[in-house]
Amino acid sequence: MLRARVLVRESSRKSAGYAAEFVLSCWTPYSRVLHRCYSDNNSVKTIVRIPQSNIYRFGDSNVAAPVFRDVDWTVNEGESWAVIGSGSNQKTALLRTLLGHLRISPPPPPPGGLFPFLSDPPRDPHTCVSLVSFAHRPHASGSAFYDYTARYGAVRDEDRITLRQSMFGEYDFLNVQPKDGSRNKSASEIAQEQVKKDIFEDLTTRLGLSGLLDLPLVALSNGQTRRARIVKAILSQPELLVLDEPLTGLDFNNRPTLLSVLHSLHISNSPRIIMGLRMQDPVPEWITHLALVKDGKVFAGTKDEVLAEYAAQALRDEEKRSSNVSRIVSGTDEEGKAVVDMKNVNVIYEQKRKVLKGIDWTIREGERWHLQGHNGSGKTTLLSLLTGDHPQSYTQLGSTSHLHLFSRPRQRISTPHLRSLIGVVSPELANAFPRRAGVSVWEVVGTGFDGTFVPGGADGVGVGLEGALSDDVRQWRVDRVREVLKGLGPSSWAHGNEDAGINDAFSKRDFADLSAGEQSIVLLMRALVSRPQLVLLDEVWSGMDDAMVQAARRYLREGGVEHDQAVVVISHWEEEVPWGVEDGLKRFKLDNGFGTEL
């Protein structure tokens, strides 16, 4: 299978690079100074123990199908573990088991229980074990849409709260809100604060966050926010920190730095780290053991054993598959019409903070683009110009600058009209999309025609810009929803369920009840349903399991987008782009706000 190949190749190719990047010499082991939960026992400890058990969802009895069967997993002190999974859901489920979110049967026996290392002296797993997850939220806390475009404009008062205040506001040492100004602190309190302050400064410097602390939180890019959440979790001093997909959304530069920091923390046990990785993530050099989660089973062992077994299995799977994939991009030399034409485009914030600098970029119909760039290089900002969400999309005027969308200056095309011409998948949209009870998959897909977030129209296919649809258009829309459901619905990814009726049943399910992966694939259907002239796919595979990714890649390559549609894929991973250079793929790279075609 493609991903297995990627995993094995990447792990061997990149490991040398990572090894070279690990800079440990000047690291202060935090364990020497932080001991809130630390035990003195020096014998080799067992950190996690799940002995030959089944794992169930809470509320399911032992006669129900377990999420995992016969799990035998022991993590000992000194080992470095990553959990990898072909499906994001299963990997996350195993990690959540460590937080007590799933039921282990029979339960790990006392006195040690699930965490033997916390038994002497007895400590509470609730305070000593933390999880930071970067997966999309499958269930929203509310049903309302929140305006994720707020960050692009003049920041509103309620959005002004800075990174320092929002994530680290509880700490007196940062002088944000002195909690106890009147009281004199004891010497030991002052010493502890100094230690935390050192850690904070060290981590924010190493993770490139120092210069961002006083920016509004909403202004931070995805990668910047993710790094800040990790620092916040470390400052709360857990003994075991479980990080689900810490590399997702991080660029090539930041990955080795973060991994180096995590390694340093892990070897000083402050905290120990267990990482969840996607199949396509390179396995860091310092990881010694893997728990591979696949088809309801957990294969745990040394890294070499597990990778070798997985590679052998992947080879067997690949031999069975026919890989007759047609090229979708025609080899014609003829240039299509310009869908986007940018000339000397700039985005500047307060205090002359320049985020995009003189961008020249033309996207033509039929083209496939890979938009690349480090965290914070301006990719999301650039996309928000294309979608017209960014207020500065209106201000690209003058004799030397312009932003033309669909052959018209941005100012001459209304935002609702733009929304109906562009299909978008992005982490911001996925997080913001309302999950209201009673709204079906069909209706969510149907919102894609008008680019809205609230279902409308008698058939759940919208009402168009004019507020009413002719019968022909309405029928075309209904047929299109059926088509994308056929192409991307469960009949294409749920093994053993090729029956078309399953798509029909799926279309009636509540969107809010779907898994994160299912929601992602529904939002992809929503982006494609109107056959928009421009398709923007930002972190499109997020949360999807392997079968869904394969189905979606196949669909995109084999007719899911037509020859006259333009597609831009934003991803830090070359392997994630459904097309290669051999298919005519073009690459545009942002570097510190400057753009170049590679």
Asked whether position 375 contacts ligand ATP by CB under 6 A, the answer is yes
Site for ligand ATP in 139-158 (CB under 6 A): 151, 155
Q: Binding string to ligand ATP for residues 448 to 477, with x set by CB under 6 A, is what?
A: ------------------------------
Q: Whole-number minimum distance, CB 278 to ligand ATP, in Å?
A: 16
Buried b (16+ CB within 10 A) or exposed e, 9-44: ebbeebbeebeeebeeeebeebbeebeebeeeeeee
Pick 115 or 152: Cβ nearer ligand ATP: 152
Dist CA 477 CA 399 (whole Å) = 41
What's the burial of 106, exposed, middle or buried (CB within 10 Å: 0-12/13-18/19+)? Answer: exposed
Pick 73 or 573: Cβ nearer ligand ATP: 573
Among positions 49, 103, 379, 390, the unique one binding ligand ATP when judged by CB under 6 A? 379
Q: Whole-number minimum distance, CB 23 to ligand ATP, in Å?
A: 23
Among positions 276, 284, 366, 378, the unique one binding ligand ATP when judged by CB under 6 A? 378
- The DSSP call for residue 122 is B
Q: Whole-number minimum distance, CB 86 to ligand ATP, in Å?
A: 25
Pick 11 or 381: Cβ nearer ligand ATP: 381
Among positions 215, 217, 231, 529, the unique one binding ligand ATP when judged by CB under 6 A? 215
Type of residue numbered 483: E
Q: Whole-number minimum distance, CB 375 to ligand ATP, in Å?
A: 3
Among positions 86, 270, 377, 420, the unique one binding ligand ATP when judged by CB under 6 A? 377
Neighbours of 184 (CB within 10 A): 7
State the DSSP string of 3-54. Answer: HHHHHHHHHHHHHHHHHHH---TT---GGGT--SS-----SPPEEEEEEEEE
Q: Whole-number minimum distance, CB 393 to ligand ATP, in Å?
A: 13
Pick 439 or 535: Cβ nearer ligand ATP: 535
Q: Whole-number minimum distance, CB 536 to ligand ATP, in Å?
A: 12
**Cα four-point dihedral sign 204, 210, 214, 216:** negative
Asked whether position 349 contacts ligand ATP by CB under 6 A, the answer is yes
Among positions 376, 423, 462, 595, the unique one binding ligand ATP when judged by CB under 6 A? 376
Site for ligand ATP in 162-191 (CB under 6 A): none
Q: Whole-number minimum distance, CB 381 to ligand ATP, in Å?
A: 3
Dist CA 519 CA 502 (whole Å) = 16
- Total residues at the site for ligand ATP (CB under 6 A)? 21
Asked whether position 380 contacts ligand ATP by CB under 6 A, the answer is yes
- The DSSP call for residue 100 is T
Pick 216 or 434: Cβ nearer ligand ATP: 216
Q: Whole-number minimum distance, CB 162 to ligand ATP, in Å?
A: 11
Among positions 233, 355, 536, 548, the unique one binding ligand ATP when judged by CB under 6 A? 355
Dist CA 45 CA 40 (whole Å) = 11
Pick 377 or 440: Cβ nearer ligand ATP: 377
Q: Per residue, what are the HEC states of 468-489?
A: CCCHHHHHHHHHHHHHHHHHHC
Asked whether position 223 contacts ligand ATP by CB under 6 A, the answer is yes
Q: Is 293 left (phi over 0), alpha (psi -120 to 50) or beta?
A: beta
Among positions 89, 222, 264, 520, the unique one binding ligand ATP when judged by CB under 6 A? 222
Nearest to 442 by CA among 326, 331, 529: 529
Q: Which two tokens stand for residue 300?
A: 């745990």
DSSP bridge pairs for 341: 362, 404
Tell me the three state secondary structure of residue 176: coil
Q: Is 142 left (phi over 0), alpha (psi -120 to 50) or beta?
A: beta
Q: Is 522 left (phi over 0), alpha (psi -120 to 50) or beta?
A: alpha
CA distances to 226, 407, 565, 596 from 338, rounded to whole Å, are: 35, 7, 11, 18
Type of residue numbered 32: R
Q: Binding string to ligand ATP for residues 229 to 258, with x set by CB under 6 A, is what?
A: ----------------------x-------
* Angle in degrees, CA 274, 277, 282, rounded to 5: 115
Among positions 36, 139, 316, 353, the unique one binding ligand ATP when judged by CB under 6 A? 353
Q: Which range, of 51-59, 215-223, 401-409, 436-444, touches ligand ATP by CB under 6 A? A: 215-223
Among positions 125, 373, 423, 462, the unique one binding ligand ATP when judged by CB under 6 A? 373
Asked whether position 571 contacts ligand ATP by CB under 6 A, the answer is no
Among positions 7, 84, 128, 220, the unique one binding ligand ATP when judged by CB under 6 A? 220
Strands 368-373 and 338-349: unpaired
Q: Which residues of this protein are in contact with ligand ATP, per CB under 6 A?
A: 151, 155, 215, 219-224, 251, 349, 353, 355, 373, 375-381
